[in-house]
């Protein structure tokens, strides 16, 4: 797959992370480095990937632990030079309690920083001619602050803006940055949703769209198109109008 041999994915124990791991395993990468917080689920994903003949290194890591994540990425790259680093791990806020709000920002923003920062330094120091790709997981929810999930949408808006800025900033370093903005995709997050989920998509379909977008070096991989267009349109409307519309939307959870 376009010279991609070694892929690292955070949050690989379920949802899009799991689907990405299985997608790359099925498409002939040599080694996968996977992390997650649930040992049982992570082991199942690793075993499923090994059935394709790929070598898998799984680690039980919380992405909010800066030192642990940095050490894991460094050791992974020493084992096999990383071609893609997916900053995928994320959480839903659920009830907007102080505890949940801080957890959302710690995971969805600082978890991304803890993954992306060491990856950038590794790529900057690389001399051999290999792919140098960073993919960050934002969301369609990051196009505009949502009254139904303020912390989640704000955290994803931050990741979206950061990834877009990094793409331009790192271009002259030959480091490819792709920002991913999915709509509703089957995951442990959407399994808890009680609201309507238009254009709902299975995780394997989402993983295929993401992998193709990365291969084509699409800067902003936002899908499905109707949701992307609708979110974009609402984001450019006057606030008085967009806020009125968003306040009428059902809550995520």
| Residues with a known catalytic role | 152
Nearest residue to 110 (alpha-carbon basis) of 140, 136, 84, 132: 136
> Which residue stretches of the chain are H helix?
15-26, 39-50, 66-79, 98-105, 111-125, 150-169, 203-215, 225-236, 239-247
Strand partners, 6: 31
Q: Please give the order of strands across the beta sheet that includes 84-87.
A: 55-60, 31-36, 6-9, 84-87, 133-137, 176-182, 220-223
Within 10 Å of residue 130's Cβ, how many Cβ atoms? 15
The answer for residues whose C-beta is within 8 angstroms of residue 169's C-beta and 6 or more apart is: none
C-beta of residue 54 within 8 angstroms of C-beta of residue 22 = no
* H-helix or E-strand spanning residue 133: strand 133-137
């Amino acid at each position: 797959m376009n010279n991609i041999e070694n892929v690292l994915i955070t949050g690989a124990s379920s949802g899009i992370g799991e689907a990405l791991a299985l997608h790359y395993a099925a498409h002939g990468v040599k080694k996968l480095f996977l992390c997650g917080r649930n040992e049982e689920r992570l082991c199942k994903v690793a075993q499923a990937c090994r059935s394709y003949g790929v070598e898998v290194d799984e680690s039980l890591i919380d992405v909010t632990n800066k030192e642990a994540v940095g050490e894991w990425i460094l050791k992974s790259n020493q084992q096999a030079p990383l071609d893609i680093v997916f900053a995928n791990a994320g959480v839903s806020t659920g009830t907007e309690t102080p505890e949940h709000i801080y957890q959302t920002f710690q995971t969805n923003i600082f978890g991304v920083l803890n993954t992306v920062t060491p990856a950038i330094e590794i790529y900057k120091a690389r001399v051999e001619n290999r792919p140098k790709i960073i993919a960050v997981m934002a969301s369609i929810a990051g196009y505009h602050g949502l009254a139904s999930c303020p912390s989640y949408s704000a955290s994803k808006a931050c990741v979206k803006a950061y990834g877009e800025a990094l793409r331009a900033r790192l271009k002259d370093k030959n480091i490819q940055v792709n920002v991913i903005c999915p709509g509703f995709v089957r995951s442990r997050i959407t399994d808890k949703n009680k609201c309507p989920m238009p254009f709902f998509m299975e995780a394997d379909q989402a993983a295929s769209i993401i992998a193709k977008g990365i291969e084509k070096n699409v800067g902003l991989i936002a899908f499905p198109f109707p949701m992307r267009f609708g979110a974009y349109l609402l984001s450019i409307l006057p606030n008085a109008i967009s806020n009125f519309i968003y306040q009428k939307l059902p809550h995520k959870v």
